[in-house]
Amino acid sequence: MVAANKGRPHQRLRTRKDLLQAAARLMRQGGKPSLEDVAADAMVSRATAYRYFPDIGALLAEASLDVDVPDAETLFAGETTQDPVVRLEIVDQALHQAVVEHEPQMRRMLAHAVTRSLDIPPGDAIPPRQNRRLPLIDAALAPARAQFGPAALRRLEYALALIVGTEGVIVAKDVLRINDAEARRVKRWAIRALVEAARKPNR
């Protein structure tokens, strides 16, 4: 029973990813698929699809973004540097560019995720959004894992996740009101500072 429960969060993430990939496939074929079409292509029930996405608009908005965010293997293909700062800057650049190019969809996706999280009953582990940044951060740090203690590495990954991605860009624009170039400089500074802090002993 314990093993089965441990597997459920991964299964739910996989189901959510399957729905996004099915939606992307159908959109590439032309037209605007219904939620029922996407569910059928992903080989899940319509009820299951509605548990993950409130409507077809939310699903299609996120699916269009999912196509443009590279996976770790693609992002680091042919990359030889093992410097964690350089590799993390590659991750930030890719995610930052995706947000800037698709800002309306990103904001819509974030709004859907926030609203969806309020509707999910307590104890229900349906993920309100896809976790794209942590796998990329993990891949960026992989060659340099020996430079950090286990606890420091975990805190570093969590701290970086607060900086890179949609929220960091939105905070720069809406809260700090700085331009794109300055936002990128601030994030590069933060990435380097966090890596150096995590390298220090007893951190």
> Per-residue pLDDT tens for 19-30?
999 998 898 888
Among 11, 46, 68, where does a domain finish? 68
18 and 114 share one domain: no
User: Comparing C-alpha atoms, which of 4, 14, 9, 63 is closest to residue 38?
Assistant: 63
What pLDDT was estimated at residue 190?
97
78 and 153 share one domain: yes
What pLDDT was estimated at residue 117?
76
Number of domains in the chain: 2
What pLDDT was estimated at residue 3?
39
**Two tokens at 134?**
């942590």
pLDDT digit string (tens) for 81-136?
Answer: 999 999 999 999 999 998 898 888 888 888 888 887 777 666 666 777 778 899 99
26 and 63 share one domain: yes
99 and 185 share one domain: yes
**Percent of the chain's residues with pLDDT above 70:** 91
pLDDT tops 90 at residue 69: no
Among 47, 68, 89, where does a domain finish? 68
**Mean pLDDT on 183-196:** 97
82 and 173 share one domain: yes
Among 50, 68, 86, where does a domain finish? 68
Stated pTM of the model: 0.79
Handedness of CA 8, 12, 17, 19 (dihedral sign): positive
pLDDT tops 60 at residue 17: yes
pLDDT tops 60 at residue 6: no
What range does the domain containing 113 cover?
70-203
What pLDDT was estimated at residue 132?
85
2 and 61 share one domain: yes
150 and 54 share one domain: no
**Two tokens at 86?**
């350089």
20 and 100 share one domain: no
50 and 74 share one domain: no
The separation between CA 25 and the C-alpha centre of its own chain, rounded to angstroms, equals 20
Q: Mean pLDDT score of the chain, rounded to an integer?
A: 87
Contact at 8 Å (CB) between 55 and 41? no
What pLDDT was estimated at residue 146?
95
What pLDDT was estimated at residue 124?
67
Contact at 8 Å (CB) between 75 and 145? no
83 and 180 share one domain: yes
10 and 29 share one domain: yes
202 and 119 share one domain: yes
pLDDT tops 60 at residue 196: yes
